[in-house]
Structure 1
């Protein structure tokens, strides 16, 4: 850290960081064992596990005392009636925040070809959620032009409350993207998406499911990027945060938190977060 204010800013980000998990059968127990109650956990929508698994895990985590944020992948929802049923379950569980990506279902399961389509229907339901996140793509989306993804964020501004960036491993790319979306008029708060301290083999195997571009096609087209991650010393979350801190600490960047992809390695992620936060706290006290 360059100075005390940057160190304090990063410590605050680590204290409030939220985790993303996959809705596997054992993940709720893993979270309860390793993650303090009260932390925010987002639950992905997996094509292989189905949206029902996402809702089930979100309800379970909320009951335990966490703040659950289910992903409502638009292209996986079959009808307005199904959306209303899902919303009713989430509201009944006390869940007040959702994340709305388009999803990968091709063709769409129902009438929602894009996240904007679903956001409009959510809004028509008397806005049942206080917080609604949408996706941003610092790295190019495998099927959508960059200018279109940035325009889409603008189009969703009346329906969403914040943007969550997808995985990006290049601080320069992330910096450029943040400047671009702010210049184009997207003012919503931003959460920076990044992997935590995870096994490289796990990261590589899971990235195609919920990582960059949300598609294995991105992995195939960007082998060199993932090769650097797989190489010892290739990706270090602490170094990544330190390199982007001069950007994200700027008020005009409007970065309000970290969105950490755990790839279900919640124990390793939480241990890393606690250790680094403690070191930063120790530095603050020493000074």
Structure 2
């Protein structure tokens, strides 16, 4: 059974490509989110990352702050970084009770070996803890430009299995992709996903405006393609690493290229250059495009 997503951002077609966007923050970004809050639409989903070295209480406080600011908190759970079943369920219960969390995002995590009992996201889903906590939607990752340790076929198999696992437990699946710079790769991946029968809503990862060096640093860290030809499509010449770049060309290409065959799509912003800079760019983009 597929449960409808519980967010109004998916209830109507977008007016501009940035309509119904979501954001990603760390626990350290709460002050920046609060400063940018007047520019962010009410109920905007805000994902809260699960970074190594952060205190659980800081993540909980971030989720509470997101809710208090009038947005929809979506905390991450990094399977291989969770050291015990108790830690997992305690954190989940806290964000559900204190921040009214009803949607979560799950990733396997970077460590090659688990630091606790969970090797991957399927192991988290299989506990049944999410539905017991009242979670209604689960986000999983998509990799339009491939995965460093999985073949394309394995990526599709894993994605389809996770979506099925979430649906069988009565929750709504959502796919959020890694960020990238190549619209053609994303549009092709979206089309293939729909051809494979994946009708789940999908959020395309987009880097917020940042210095060129910062964008390339995050690309290298996340295994994202950033060749000279790809970056030229994005509007950046690798012959000069001075200055900053925004995702104008990328977002325009999505707006021009998306059709019915790509299904339900929204954007998810990774604010590498800062939350305020990203939100101001989105507001400016909407003004320029009649939003």
TM > 0.5 fold call: yes
TM-score (norm 2): 0.80
Question: How far off is 1:270 after superposition?
Answer: 1.0
Question: How far off is 1:264 after superposition?
Answer: 5.8
Conserved? CA contact 1:201–1:230, under 8 Å: no
1:198 aligns with 2:200: no
Match of 2:91 in 1: 86
Q: Distance in 2 between matches of 1:51 and 1:106?
A: 22
Match of 2:281 in 1: 272
Conserved? CA contact 2:181–2:231, under 8 Å: no
Please identify, of 54-63 and 178-187, the stretch whose mean Cα deviation from structure 2 is larger.
54-63
Q: Distance in 2 between matches of 1:264 and 1:41?
A: 16
Question: How far off is 1:274 after superposition?
Answer: 0.6
1:262 aligns with 2:283: no
Summarize the alignment of residues 218-237 of structure 1 with structure 2, pairs less than 5 Å apart.
218=223, 224=228, 229=236, 231=238, 236-237=246-247
Conserved? CA contact 1:135–1:165, under 8 Å: yes
Structure 1, unmatched stretches of 5+, are: 1-7, 283-287
1:134 aligns with 2:140: yes
Q: Distance in 2 between matches of 1:208 and 1:114?
A: 23
Conserved? CA contact 1:35–1:266, under 8 Å: no
Summarize the alignment of residues 1-287 of structure 1 with structure 2, pairs less than 5 Å apart.
11-24=15-28, 27-36=29-38, 38=42, 39-49=44-54, 52-92=57-97, 93-122=99-128, 125-126=131-132, 128-158=134-164, 159=166, 161-208=173-220, 214=222, 218=223, 224=228, 229=236, 231=238, 236-248=246-258, 250-263=259-272, 265-281=274-290
Q: Distance in 2 between matches of 1:226 and 1:246?
A: 18
Conserved? CA contact 2:176–2:202, under 8 Å: yes
Q: Distance in 1 between matches of 2:162 and 2:133?
A: 14
Aligned to 2:269, the other structure's residue is in SS state strand
Question: How far off is 1:50 after superposition?
Answer: 5.4
Q: Distance in 2 between matches of 1:225 and 1:69?
A: 34
Q: CA deviation digits over 1:53-102, x for unaligned, max 9?
A: 43332223223332111111111112222221111101102111111111
Q: Distance in 1 between matches of 2:63 and 2:151?
A: 32
Please identify, of 48-57 and 86-95, the stretch whose mean Cα deviation from structure 2 is larger.
48-57
Conserved? CA contact 1:136–1:153, under 8 Å: yes
Q: Distance in 1 between matches of 2:156 and 2:228?
A: 25
Shift in alpha-carbon separation, 1:222–1:280, aligned structure 2, 3 A: closer
Shift in alpha-carbon separation, 1:259–1:88, aligned structure 2, 3 A: same
Question: How far off is 1:51 after superposition?
Answer: 5.2
Q: Distance in 1 between matches of 2:143 and 2:55?
A: 24
Kindly tell me the number of residue pairs found equivalent between the two proteins. 264
- If each structure's helix is expressed as a fraction of its own residues, which one has the higher value? 1
Q: Distance in 1 between matches of 2:59 and 2:111?
A: 15
Please identify, of 151-160 and 59-68, the stretch whose mean Cα deviation from structure 2 is larger.
59-68
TM-score (norm 1): 0.81
Conserved? CA contact 1:154–1:185, under 8 Å: no
